């Protein structure tokens, strides 16, 4: 049975990695060679298509925009969500329970159902207040904070319940303010959950296509997922260049994930424990 289980796990791993194999292998082929066989190894591997993809995508500009949006969002979401979860958990009032329920409920709403109302609200905000949310990287960060807060609050709330109240009460007796209690005692203890939230948000935000496609109109503001769309025309799809572009796109996320994966299981398990 042990060998059967190992064989099944190996089979599932191969099936899971098979699309990645298709993308990487075909990124080194010409269009003609790729159409002959998408499974075969390239006969004459070349980096020519990667160079062309870098130029067509304006990769450095797109990477800069993606990093700005991802880093800003992944710093603000944990910072704001951790404070929100801590205050709601510690207050324990009826309003806090209702607010927590609303956060959890919004996790069940598909993004596709709020796309059109969201665009209408963005237009209304611009007309009334003059605040430019659409076609700005700052506006995109603002939207990501809103969409990323529910899951972050949910994870933080579970972990906050495991922190003994005695620690906070002792700090309060010693004269510490609420801000001091949070930043000096609570926030350092939330590190596992913080790392989990950051990892999940980086993978989501860096690879997201739908929200930037709805809000970013200027080519100079395009993120990497938007720039890969340049290979898909109305009458022609340059699959080999698209494969090269997709490979370039996933490399930063894979590197980040491998360097931080040790925190995922620890953070999710810690957030699932209810004190």
The enclosing domain of 53 has a CATH number of 1.10.3720.10
Residue 37, in any domain of the structure:
no
Range among 32-36, 142-146, 167-171, 218-222 with highest mean pLDDT value? 142-146
Residue 275 pLDDT greater than 60, yes or no: no
Q: What is the CA radius of gyration of the chain?
A: 23
Q: Select the more confidently predicted residue: 230 or 201.
A: 201
Q: What are phi and psi of 161, to 5 degrees?
A: -65, -20
pLDDT of residue 74 exceeding 80:
yes
Q: What is the mean pLDDT of the chain?
A: 85
User: Distances in Å between the alpha carbon of 203 and those of 73, 208, 259?
Assistant: 12, 8, 13
For 139-161, the pLDDT digits (tens) are 999 999 999 999 999 989 988 88
When pLDDT is cut at 50, 70 and 90, the band that residue 235 belongs to is low
Domain-embedded: residue 20: no
Q: Answer yes or no: is 72 within a domain.
A: yes
For residue 120, pLDDT over 70 is answered with yes
Confidence of residue 268 (pLDDT cuts 50, 70, 90): low
Whether 116 shows a pLDDT value over 90: the answer reads no
In a domain, 220, yes or no: yes
pLDDT for residue 13 is more than 50:
yes
**Does pLDDT of 23 surpass 70?**
yes
Residue 1 domain flag: no
Provide the pLDDT for residue 274.
Answer: 45
Name the percent of the chain lying above pLDDT 90.
20
Q: Is the pTM of this model over 0.75?
A: yes
- Read off the tokens for 137: 């990287």
Instruction: Reply yes or no on whether the pLDDT at 196 is more than 80.
Output: yes
More confident residue, 257 or 10: 10
In the predicted model, is pLDDT for residue 271 greater than 60? Answer: no
Residue 141: the pLDDT is: 95
Weakest mean pLDDT among 11-25, 75-89, 183-197, 233-247: 233-247
CA distance linking residue 66 with residue 250, whole number of Å: 12
Per-residue pLDDT averaged across 51-69, rounded? 91
Q: List own/partner pairs for 103-106 with CB under 8 A and 24 or more apart.
A: 103/149, 103/150, 103/153, 103/154, 104/150, 104/154, 106/150
- Going from the C-alpha of 162 to that of each of 5, 39, 193, 226, the distances in angstroms are 36, 50, 12, 41
Distance CA 52, CA 72 (A): 30
Find the domain containing 124 and state its range: 47-272
Residue 81 pLDDT > 90: yes
End-to-end CA distance of the chain: 38
Do the domain assignments include residue 7? no
- Specify the pLDDT at position 61: 92
Mutual angle of helices 94-106 and 59-91, in 10-degree steps:
150
The mean pLDDT of 11-22, rounded to a whole number, is 86
Q: Is 27 inside any structural domain? A: no
The residues near 85 (Cβ < 8 Å, ≥ 6 apart) are 152, 153, 156, 157, 160
pLDDT > 70: percent of the chain: 94
pLDDT for position 266: 64
> How many structural domains compose the chain?
1
């Amino acid at each position: 049975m042990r060998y059967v289980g190992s064989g099944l796990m190996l089979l599932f791993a191969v099936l899971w990695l098979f699309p990645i194999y298709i993308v990487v292998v075909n990124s080194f082929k010409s269009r003609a060679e790729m159409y002959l066989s998408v499974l075969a190894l390239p006969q004459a591997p070349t980096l020519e298509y990667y160079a062309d993809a870098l130029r067509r995508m304006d990769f450095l500009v797109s990477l800069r925009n993606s990093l700005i949006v991802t880093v800003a969002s992944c710093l603000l979401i944990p910072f704001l969500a951790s404070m929100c979860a801590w205050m709601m958990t510690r207050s324990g009032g009826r309003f806090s329970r209702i607010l927590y329920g609303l956060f959890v409920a919004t996790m069940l709403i598909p993004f596709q159902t709020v796309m059109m109302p969201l665009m209408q609200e963005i237009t209304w905000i611009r007309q009334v207040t003059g605040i430019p949310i659409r076609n700005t990287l700052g506006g995109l960060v603002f939207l990501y904070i809103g969409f990323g807060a529910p899951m972050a609050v949910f994870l933080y709330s579970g972990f906050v319940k495991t922190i003994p109240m005695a620690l906070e009460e002792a700090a309060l007796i010693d004269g510490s303010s609420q801000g001091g209690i949070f930043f000096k005692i609570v926030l350092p203890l939330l590190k596992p959950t913080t790392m989990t939230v950051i990892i999940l948000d980086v993978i989501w935000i860096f690879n997201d296509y739908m929200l930037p496609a709805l809000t970013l109109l200027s080519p100079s503001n395009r993120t990497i997922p938007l720039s890969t769309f340049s290979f898909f025309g109305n009458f022609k799809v340059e699959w080999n260049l698209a494969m090269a572009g997709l490979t370039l796109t996933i490399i930063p996320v894979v590197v980040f994930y491998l360097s931080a994966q040790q925190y995922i299981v620890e953070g999710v398990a810690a957030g699932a424990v209810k004190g």
